Amino acid sequence: MTYQLPKVWTNTNAGGEFANINKPTAGATHTKDLPIGSHDLQLYSLATPNGIKVTVMLEELLSLGLAAQYDAWLIDIRAGDQFGSGFVAINPNSKIPALLDTSTNSRVFESGAILLYLAEKFDALLPANNRTEVLNWLFWQMASAPYVGGGFGHFYLYAPEKLKYPIDRFTMETKRQLDLLNQTLTKRAFVTGDTYTIADIAIWPWYGRLVLGDLYQGANEFLAAKDYPHLMAWAEKIAQRSAVKRGIRVNSLKDGGILERHQDTDLD
Ligand SMILES: N[C@@H](CCC(=O)N[C@@H](CS)C(=O)NCC(=O)O)C(=O)O
């Protein structure tokens, strides 16, 4: 049905999967302090693609022997935890992931900024001789993934009805991005060259999991993921990393998930 535009938009609640938490205003809706554990790094997150980027990064740093111990606290976005006053003080944008580094009293929000912050803090996974290319792809991911998540995934899976126009539009753009990654990975073992970096860590939870069929049910077939063999091989290779296997379980509400991670949590 064609939408007759009113002169001024008002919120009539369009329905769909996240309608109960979506609203047109920013800021805290209730007072709630965040818990704080014993480590310098306090992560407030959930194992969505954006959340997984950070837990995989932290687990990669730990597996390199770096002192990146952290406390991971679950933020249940379906329950509205992201609108609590403590969380909003760390991320005024009310989205996971958010990080607090108590050693420098820094709040860090936006998953790309968190990856960059941790890479610089620990001098890892951001090679100095390829820094610009890594940042190219890190920023590419941050700018491109909303077409996949907010566009394709929303209309393919979450919208209250299947609408051809937005599904066609966002499927086209998602496939263009998959083709770009596939072409890039034809020439390189990892997205930015011979080594695994924060660019791979940012890109895999979206594009890797999408082609592996772990993001939106059936979407790997719908998008003909088999047509991107180099991307698929890269996705499978990264899925085998032990830090990745650990990272995707932290702050996860799914079976096998570890709701929160603290000092003694055994993830192996
Ligand atoms: N650009 C942000 C996006 C973060 C984001 O969209 N987080 C989602 C979960 S993946 C969220 O917290 N949604 C809660 C909400 O929209 O209320 C980042 O990469 O950190």
pLDDT at position 81, please? Answer: 96
- As a whole number, the mean pLDDT across the chain is 95
Residue 96 Cα to ligand 1 middle (Å): 5
Model-level pTM? 0.96
Nearest CA owner, ligand 1 atom 16 = 95
pLDDT at position 1, please? Answer: 65
For residue 162, give both structure tokens. 């299947």
- The mean pLDDT of 43-69, rounded to a whole number, is 97
Nearest CA owner, ligand 1 atom 11 = 95
Name the amino acid, one letter, at 261. Answer: R
- The mean pLDDT of 91-118, rounded to a whole number, is 98
pLDDT at position 263, please? Answer: 67
> Which has the closest alpha carbon to 16: 206, 157, 164?
157
* Substitution candidate for ligand 1 out of 78, 88, 96 with most atoms within 8 A of CB: 96
pLDDT at position 21, please? Answer: 82
Atom of ligand 1 nearest to the CA of 21: 17
Separation CA 117–CA 40 (nearest Å): 14
H runs (alpha helix) in 164-225: 164-187, 198-203, 209-212, 219-222
pLDDT at position 15, please? Answer: 73
pLDDT at position 210, please? Answer: 98
Residue 109 Cα to ligand 1 middle (Å): 10
- C-alpha distances (whole Å) from 155 to each of 151, 165, 166, 221 are 6, 10, 7, 16
- Tens of pLDDT, residues 162-199: 999 999 999 999 999 999 999 999 999 999 999 999 99
pLDDT at position 13, please? Answer: 74
pLDDT at position 59, please? Answer: 96
> Which has the closest alpha carbon to 231: 263, 169, 187, 266?
187
Residue 197 Cα to ligand 1 middle (Å): 22
**pLDDT more than 70, % of the chain:** 99
- The mean pLDDT of 125-138, rounded to a whole number, is 98
For 35-63, the DSSP string reads P--SSSEEEEE-SSHHHHHHHHHHHHHHH
pLDDT at position 65, please? Answer: 96
45 C-beta closer than 6 A to ligand 1: no
pLDDT at position 258, please? Answer: 83
**Residue 82, SS3?**
helix
- Tens of pLDDT, residues 79-100: 999 999 999 999 999 999 999 9
pLDDT at position 256, please? Answer: 80
Nearest CA owner, ligand 1 atom 6 = 95
Residues near 120 by beta carbon (within 8 Å), at least 6 away in sequence = 126
Atom of ligand 1 nearest to the CA of 50: 10
144 C-beta closer than 6 A to ligand 1: no
* Substitution candidate for ligand 1 out of 90, 95, 138, 215 with most atoms within 8 A of CB: 95
Cβ–Cβ under 8 Å, residues 99 and 107: yes
